[in-house]
Structure 1
Amino acid sequence: MPKYVLWGSYCEDVLEKRAAYRQAHLDGLAKQKEDGVLITIGPTKDITKVFGIYEAENEAIVRQLIESDPYWQNQIWTDYEIKEWIQAI
């Protein structure tokens, strides 16, 4: 099954702005992980970017997961890019 890399950006003052949506965000990610579609995800240390790896039948599924996330819907994530990834090792 294809793998996809997510790179996205966080809003300014992310630590304060995310608080109201954090638990719903984490619950959704846990469900994606349990379902086997999310391999890993997390912020860069400076909390300006988010990086994730998904395994899904197509890119549209990954986009739907990202765009239904509370962080996207509430502008905590401000933009994102997805690339199909070829795992060499």
Structure 2
Amino acid sequence: MPKYIMWGSYCEDVIEKRAPYRQEHLNGLVSQKEQGILVTLGPTKDVTKVFGIYDAENEEIVKKLIETDTYWKNGIWTEYEIKEWIQAI
């Protein structure tokens, strides 16, 4: 199955602004992980970017997961880019 990477950006003051949505966001990620779609996802140390790896049949599945996430819907993630990834090792 293809793998996809996602790079995205967080809004300013993300720590404060994400608080009302954080648990719903984390619950969704756990569900994606349990389904075998999400490999990993997390912020950079400075909390300006988000990086994720997905194991999905196609890019549209990844796009739908991102755009239905509460962080996207509430402006916590402000932009993202998806690329198919070839895992060499």
Compute the TM-score of the two structures, normalised by the length of structure 1.
1.00
Cα distance in structure 2, aligned partners of 1:83 and 1:46: 23
Unaligned runs of 5+ in 2: none
1:12 maps to which residue? 12
2:21 maps to which residue? 21
SS in 1 for 2:30: helix
Cα distance in structure 2, aligned partners of 1:59 and 1:52: 13
Unaligned runs of 5+ in 1: none
1:41 maps to which residue? 41
Aligned length: 89
Q: Give the root-mean-square deviation of aligned CA atoms.
A: 0.2
The one-letter code matched in structure 1 to 2:47 is I
Please identify runs of 4+ aligned residues in structure 1 that moved more than 3 A.
none
